[in-house]
Amino acid sequence: MASILISTGGWIGAAELLLAYALVSKGRIVGDSLRYQALNLTGSVLLVANCAYTGAWPSVIANSFYVIVGISILITVKRAYIAQLAHNRRALLGTRLHRGSAASAATAPSAAAAEG
């Protein structure tokens, strides 16, 4: 039973790598996208398990490099995403503060004029 699962996992992993390659080649996704990296990473992990089980050690090593690269790219993409979120929040907060100070500045002279 385990050999059937590992064999099926290997075929799924190979299909994921081919799908990722086809999508990037056709321009449907970009190489640094989360979808592309997830397909490469999961496909490579499945192939590492399959190749290790069958004793195909050169393929284990090659796919292990895919896993390492995939993890490092995912970390880079995550950092960029977090930085973009922080930038957007700062910009939104700055807009809100600017509106608030502009509104209070607009009402301040009229209040002084009403007193005078």
**Higher local confidence (pLDDT), 36 or 107:** 36
- Which of these, 93, 98, 36, lies nearest to 69 by C-alpha position? 36
What separation in angstroms does the CA of 104 have from each of 41, 71, 99, 100, 101?
53, 49, 9, 6, 5
* Structural element, H or E, at residue 91: helix 57-115
Average confidence (pLDDT) over 14-36? 94
19 contacts 69 by C-beta, under 8 angstroms: no
Averaged pLDDT score across all residues of the chain: 87
| Average pLDDT of the segment spanning 32-46 | 93
Quick: pLDDT tens for 57-98: 999 999 999 999 989 988 888 888 899 999 988 888 877 777
Give CA separation, 73 vs 31, 68, 86, in Å. Answer: 10, 9, 20
What local confidence, expressed as pLDDT, does residue 109 receive?
56
Helix, strand or coil, per DSSP, at residue 31: coil
- Residue whose C-alpha is closest to residue 38's, from 52, 20, 22, 54: 20
Distance of CA 16 to the CA centre of its chain: 17
The per-residue pLDDT for 27 is 96
- Classify the phi-psi angles of 27: left when phi > 0, otherwise alpha if psi is within -120 to 50, otherwise beta: left
What confidence score (pLDDT) does residue 80 get?
87
